[in-house]
């Protein structure tokens, strides 16, 4: 009989930070392509990307008791390319190297080659998807073993990465924040897509097995209902969507560029970040395993 790991809050932080870093790099690449004049925002993304992923890697190394007492076990992963976690380490390591290279070039005010941005974006997508695949290999947890989970984590990674860059710009460089309208409108769409993916994930999971149904009920009407509805859905998805819809489509341009509007945008982006973490935490903690009955012989 094989026993699969039970993840805790440390892995939720790792999943969140890895996705955040990946999304921040994609945001920087997008800014360089669509808003090249927003140099401050691009640098912010280049700083967030390697820092967030490096912290996430550290958490991955010490996750679980074996990691805390024997950190060298982490490096043994590099010899097992049949493991999903091994490929995750490869993606994270390569991404970190590319992200640091881009940051150094940015600090030195050198032109970042287009091919480096492309490689970084591809690795970012791999890292974001991998965070969902890592959980999905645990077949005994229906909430994790779902093809929608990597897609959901990918969308959430892009959303949190953009939110982090926009939040810093709203406070630290209002002029650039006012000029990145395309980025803000694109980011506005992501929580809506994420909400639809969450609903689909729960609907599918609830119809897979009793354990899947128990996981979903724990989220929507049980132990995790308050952080799910108030935290993830309310603060993380619905409120940012409502605030950004008002600012982008229904407020006067003069108000949209005011300091008050910037503070509202900051609050909205902070909500996205809270929701991004709660998504990972709730998915990790609320998952109920399938009960395996071993007959007595």
CA distance 252 to 215: 44
pLDDT, average across residues 214-240: 96
254 Cβ contact list (under 8 Å, min separation 6): none
Q: Hey, where are the domains in the chain?
A: 9-286
Span 213-228, mean pLDDT? 96
Decide if pLDDT at 199 tops 70: yes
Identify the pLDDT of residue 140.
86
CA 116, chain centre distance (Å): 22
pLDDT given for residue 82 in this prediction: 59
The pair of structure tokens assigned to 255 is 């108000």
Which band of pLDDT confidence, cut at 50, 70 and 90, is reported for residue 77?
Answer: low
Q: Name which residue leads in pLDDT, 137 or 1.
A: 137
Half-sphere exposure of 139 (CA within 13 A, CB side): 3
Q: What is the pTM of this model?
A: 0.91
pLDDT attached to residue 2:
43
Residue with tokens 């409108």: 185
pLDDT score of 234 more than 50: yes
Listed ranges 80-84, 134-138, 254-258; the one with the highest mean pLDDT: 254-258
3-state SS, residue 296: coil
| Token pair 């609050």 in the structure block, residue | 267
Average pLDDT, the chain: 89
- Counting other chains too, the contacts that 183-186 makes at CB distance below 8 Å and 24 or more residues apart are 183/27, 183/30, 183/31, 183/34, 183/35, 184/244, 184/248, 184/265, 185/248, 186/30, 186/162
- pLDDT band for position 1 (50/70/90)? very low
The whole-number average pLDDT for the span 124-141 is: 89
Q: In percent, how much of the chain has pLDDT > 90?
A: 74
Residues 9-23: tens digit of each pLDDT: 888 999 999 999 999
Predicted confidence at residue 90, as pLDDT, reads: 86
Q: Could you tell me which of 261, 269, 249 has the C-alpha nearest to residue 174?
A: 261
- Asked whether the predicted pLDDT for residue 152 surpasses 60, the reply is yes
Residue 43 has pLDDT above 50, yes or no: yes
The pLDDT tens digits for 171-192 are 999 999 999 999 999 999 999 9
CATH of 9-286, one of 1.20.1250.20, 1.10.3720.10, 3.40.47.10, 1.20.1630.10: 1.20.1630.10
Does residue 262 register a pLDDT over 90?
yes
pLDDT band at 61 (very low <50, low <70, confident <90, very high): confident
Question: Is residue 293 predicted with pLDDT exceeding 50?
Answer: no
pLDDT recorded at residue 3: 41
**Band of the pLDDT at 105, cuts 50, 70, 90?**
very high
């Amino acid at each position: 009989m094989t026993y699969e790991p039970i993840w805790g809050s440390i892995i939720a932080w790792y999943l969140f930070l890895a996705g955040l870093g990946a999304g921040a790099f994609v945001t920087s690449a997008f800014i360089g392509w669509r808003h090249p004049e927003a140099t401050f925002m691009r640098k912010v993304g280049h700083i967030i990307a390697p820092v967030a992923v490096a912290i996430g890697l550290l958490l991955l190394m010490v996750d679980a008791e074996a990691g805390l007492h024997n950190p060298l076990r982490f490096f043994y992963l590099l010899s097992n390319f049949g493991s999903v976690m091994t490929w995750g380490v490869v993606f994270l390591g390569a991404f970190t190297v590319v992200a640091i290279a881009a940051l150094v070039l940015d600090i030195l005010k050198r032109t970042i080659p287009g091919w480096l941005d492309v490689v970084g974006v591809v690795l970012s997508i791999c890292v974001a998807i991998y965070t969902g695949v890592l959980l999905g290999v645990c077949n005994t947890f229906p909430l994790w073993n779902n093809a929608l989970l990597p897609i959901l984590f990918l969308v959430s990674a892009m959303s949190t990465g953009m939110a982090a860059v926009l939040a810093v710009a709203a406070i630290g460089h209002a002029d650039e924040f006012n000029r990145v309208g395309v980025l803000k409108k694109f980011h506005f769409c992501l929580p809506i897509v994420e909400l639809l993916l969450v609903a689909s994930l729960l609907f599918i999971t609830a119809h897979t097995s009793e354990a899947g149904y128990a996981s979903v009920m724990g989220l929507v009407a049980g132990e995790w209902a308050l952080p799910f509805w108030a935290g993830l859905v309310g603060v993380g998805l619905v409120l940012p969507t409502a605030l950004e819809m008002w600012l982008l489509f229904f407020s006067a341009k003069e108000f949209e560029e005011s300091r008050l509007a910037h503070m509202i945008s900051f609050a909205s982006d902070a909500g996205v970040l809270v929701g991004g973490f709660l998504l990972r935490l709730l998915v990790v903690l609320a998952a109920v395993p399938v009960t395996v009955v071993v007959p007595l012989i």
